Amino acid sequence: MSTKPHRVALYLRVSTDGQSTALQRRELVQACKHRGWEVTEVYEDAGISGAKGRDGRPAFDRLCQDATRRRFDVIAAWSVDRLGRSLQDLVGFLEEAHGVGVHLYLHQQAVDTTTPAGRALFQMMGVFAEFERAMIRDRVKAGLADARAKGVKLGAPRTDAKVLQRIEREKAKGLSVRAIAAKVGVGAGTVHRVLSGEHVSQAGA
């Protein structure tokens, strides 16, 4: 019995206007053809740094929205650094995509979550993301302890009004706390506090 080929969305990004996405497109199209996949959508952020969040990458934002609408089955990107700023970003993005049944293919890292091996690797990435978060927490705690030892007065951090709005907007889309934290670029604890009403924005201070 024949099965329909996977519908694939290509995500292409280069950091400067002087660079071209042509190589990324050519290699990804070849990889999809080799696997019998059909490229149905192409999203391109040209001259946009990967340091920018979702709001600063319009094509990536459309990609995420269309993923929730199941306009494709697989998202294909040239490399992991085309998608996110960190491992936490990538895992958050993957969790969101997998939550709506969309897989991921990363050409340079040979990651393909349509396969059992690829799904196992995804689970390992989640472990490493948790390790990264733990390291960040340890560094923050060490920094706070050092500041207190030096007599620096520390108050509870306030969250910028724009960040509050982004957190609330992502929550309205049904994302998990972990996915929101990765997308907005804050800690999961911050998201918890915002959603529980414990944070006060700077704008309202």
Instruction: Name the residue ranges covered by the structural domains of the chain.
Output: 7-120, 155-195
* Residue ranges with strand state E in 89-191: 103-106, 111-112
Architecture of domain 7-120: 3-Layer(aba) Sandwich (3.40)
At residue 204, the pLDDT reads 40
The answer to whether 72 and 8 have CB atoms below 8 angstroms apart is yes
At residue 71, the pLDDT reads 94
At residue 155, the pLDDT reads 53
Q: Does 201 qualify as catalytic in the annotation?
A: no
Cα(162)–Cα(142) distance, integer angstroms: 28
0.85 exceeded by pTM: no
| Average pLDDT, 10 consecutive residues per value, the chain (205 residues) | 78 82 94 95 87 81 92 92 74 82 89 84 63 68 76 60 82 82 82 68 39
Q: Which pair of structure tokens corresponds to residue 203?
A: 């704008």
Name the catalytic one among 2, 15, 79, 86: 15
